[in-house]
Structure 1
Amino acid sequence: MKCRHAKDTDLENVCDLLAIVFSEEPVHQLIFTGRDRESLIDVLRNFFRIYVNLASKYGGILLAENDAGTLVYFRPEAMAISKEELTIIDTQLRKVCGVDYPKALAFIDGLEQYHPKNLPHYYISLLAVERSYRGRGLVGDLLNEFNAILDKDKLPCYAECTRFSTRTLIRRWGYFDTSLPISIDGFPNLYPVWREPQS
Structure 2
Amino acid sequence: MKCRHAKDSDLDKVCDLLAKEFCHDPIYKVLFSGRDDRVNILRDYFRIYVNIEIYRKGTLLSENDTDVLVYIRPEFIAEIVETHAQADEELRKVCGSSYKAASELINGLDRLHPLNPPHYFISLQAVQRSARGGEVVESLFRTLHDIIDKDKLPCYAECTRFSTRTLIRRWGYRDADFPLHIRGFPDLYPVWRDPKQLSMK
State TM-score, norm by structure 1.
0.93
Runs of 4+ in structure 1 deviating by more than 4 angstroms, as ranges, are 82-86
> Structure 2 CA distance, aligned partners of 1:79 and 1:8?
22
Greater Cα offset, 115-124 or 56-65: 56-65
Q: Determine which of 58, 66, 73 is the counterpart of 2:64.
A: 66
**Structure 1 residues 181 and 93 mapped into 2: Cα distance closer, same or farther (>3 Å)?**
same
> Structure 1 CA distance, aligned partners of 2:185 and 2:44?
21
* 1:116 matched residue in structure 2: 114
The amino acid across from 1:134 in the alignment is R
Q: Determine which of 140, 143, 146 is the counterpart of 2:141.
A: 143
Instruction: For residues 30-52 of structure 1, give each alpha carbon's deviation from its aligned partner in whole angstroms, at most 9, with x where no partner exists.
Output: 1112112xx11100000000110
* 1:165 matched residue in structure 2: 163
* 2:5 matched residue in structure 1: 5
> Structure 2 CA distance, aligned partners of 1:110 and 1:92?
19
**Structure 1 residues 190 and 87 mapped into 2: Cα distance closer, same or farther (>3 Å)?**
closer
Per the TM alignment, residue 85 of structure 1 is displaced from its structure 2 partner at its CA by 4.8
> Structure 2 CA distance, aligned partners of 1:184 and 1:11?
29
SS in 1 for 2:64: helix
* 1:189 matched residue in structure 2: 187
Instruction: For residues 134-189 of structure 1, give each alpha carbon's deviation from its aligned partner in whole angstroms, at most 9, with x where no partner exists.
Output: 11132211111111111011111110001111111111111110101111111111
**Quick check: which one's helix share is greater?**
1
Where does the alignment leave 5 or more consecutive residues of structure 2 unmatched? none
Per the TM alignment, residue 83 of structure 1 is displaced from its structure 2 partner at its CA by 7.5
Contact 1:59 1:75 in 2 (8 A): no
> Structure 1 CA distance, aligned partners of 2:126 and 2:156?
16
Greater Cα offset, 51-60 or 140-149: 51-60
> Structure 2 CA distance, aligned partners of 1:58 and 1:76?
12
Contact 1:18 1:48 in 2 (8 A): yes
Per the TM alignment, residue 84 of structure 1 is displaced from its structure 2 partner at its CA by 6.6
Instruction: For residues 96-145 of structure 1, give each alpha carbon's deviation from its aligned partner in whole angstroms, at most 9, with x where no partner exists.
Output: 11111110111111112221012211100000001111111322111111
Where does the alignment leave 5 or more consecutive residues of structure 1 unmatched? none
The amino acid across from 1:169 in the alignment is L
SS in 1 for 2:15: helix
SS in 2 for 1:63: strand
State TM-score, norm by structure 2.
0.92
**Structure 1 residues 117 and 14 mapped into 2: Cα distance closer, same or farther (>3 Å)?**
same
Contact 2:81 2:110 in 1 (8 A): no
Equivalent pairs counted in the alignment come to 197
Q: Determine which of 174, 177, 180 is the counterpart of 2:178.
A: 180
SS in 2 for 1:158: strand
Superposed counterparts of 1:123-134, under 5 Å: 123-134=121-132
> Structure 1 CA distance, aligned partners of 2:117 and 2:23?
32
SS in 1 for 2:58: strand
* 1:21 matched residue in structure 2: 21
SS in 2 for 1:67: coil
